[in-house]
Amino acid sequence: MKMEGAGKKSDDTQQIARSEAKPRTPGASALASILAEALAEAGYEDVLIDSVLQECLPENLRGQAFVLGVRRGVLEVRASHGAVAQELSMRADEVTERINLSLPEAKRIRSIRIR
């Protein structure tokens, strides 16, 4: 008798889980675009750019360069010391390309200025 009740509950749970599962809507990419624009307007664009910048740096230099902002297509970065600045200047083309590809909704980066 307990077995029947347990089986019934399991069937009900599965049916509820199926009914709650929602198919992915075609507007999901549009929503992502809107969300990225909203984050940029709220000032979070620099945070997103900084995360891509950190990925471009070698592991031992991550966290030693910080995005100050983007002005007229120039990404302004503060380097903690000369070695980080040198590494960034050598990787400037790679960094700008990666940021522009990773964050198409963000302001387009043309160059990097290191302080």
Q: For the segment 32-64, what is each residue's pLDDT rounded down to a tens digit?
A: 667 767 766 666 788 888 988 998 888 988 999
- Against a cut of 0.85, is the pTM above it? no
Q: How many domains does the chain have?
A: 1
Which CATH number goes with the domain that contains 54?
Answer: 3.30.300.180
With respect to residue 79, please indicate whether it lies within any of the assigned structural domains: yes
Q: Which residues are CB-neighbours of 57 under 8 A, at least 6 positions away?
A: 64, 65, 84, 87, 88, 91
Domain range for 85 is 45-115
Quick check: is 1 in a domain? no
Residue 9 lies in a domain: no
